[in-house]
Amino acid sequence: MDLRAKLQASIKDAMKAKDSARLSTLRLIAAAVKDREIALRGGDNNGELTDADLMAILSRMVKQRQESAKAYEEGGRLELAQNEEDEIKIVQEFLPRQLDEAETATAIDSVIGDLGATGIRDMGRVMAELRERFAGQMDFGAVGPMVKSRLLN
């Protein structure tokens, strides 16, 4: 089942279960996807989103909620931080499983080996390949320094 169908099915299930918190988060996801489709209309792909586009939208939503939760915690608004954490869990249901640290390290080593990367000048190629192969499966903000350290050694 593709991501859109899974999202629509989840919205229907949340409506039937009268789970308003889940339903509102699912509707936020659907609205973000629709906004992106509208923004892409008139281009070469007629507003059609690829799976990579959808993963990018969902990853951005998770990152925004993580930042909001952190700000709420620092401000002493723990109930709002918990709401953000709950939304993160719902959004992550539609993302592929995140690689753990060992799997990420193995993936980095594999890509470096496949590309024959030898120095820091190859970092852009390595990061581009990682994004292509592992979209939505790793935090590229954390991966960048790992790639850099491996290329410098």
Q: Which tens digits make up the pLDDT trace of 52-63? A: 788 888 888 988
Q: Is pLDDT of 1 > 60?
A: no
Q: Residue 48 gets which letter from DSSP? A: P
- Render pLDDT for 44-84 as a digit per residue (tens, 0 to 9): 666 677 777 888 888 889 889 999 999 999 999 999 999 99
Bigger pLDDT: 71 or 4?
A: 71
CA distance linking residue 116 with residue 95, whole number of Å: 30
* Residue-averaged pLDDT of the chain: 87
Task: Provide mean pLDDT across the span 122-145.
Answer: 85
pLDDT of 47: 62
pLDDT of 66: 92
Domains of the chain: 3-92 (1.10.1510.10), 101-152 (1.10.10.410)
Residue with tokens 């709420």: 72
Q: Is pLDDT of 2 > 90?
A: no
CA distance linking residue 89 with residue 66, whole number of Å: 11
Residue 128's nearest CA partner among 54, 52, 47, 37 is 52
Instruction: Look up the pTM and report it.
Output: 0.71
Query: Dihedral angle at the C-alpha atoms of 9, 14, 15, 16, nearest 10 degrees?
Result: 90
CA distance linking residue 4 with residue 10, whole number of Å: 10
Q: Using 50, 70 and 90 to split pLDDT, how confident is the model at 23?
A: very high
Task: Provide mean pLDDT across the span 96-109.
Answer: 87
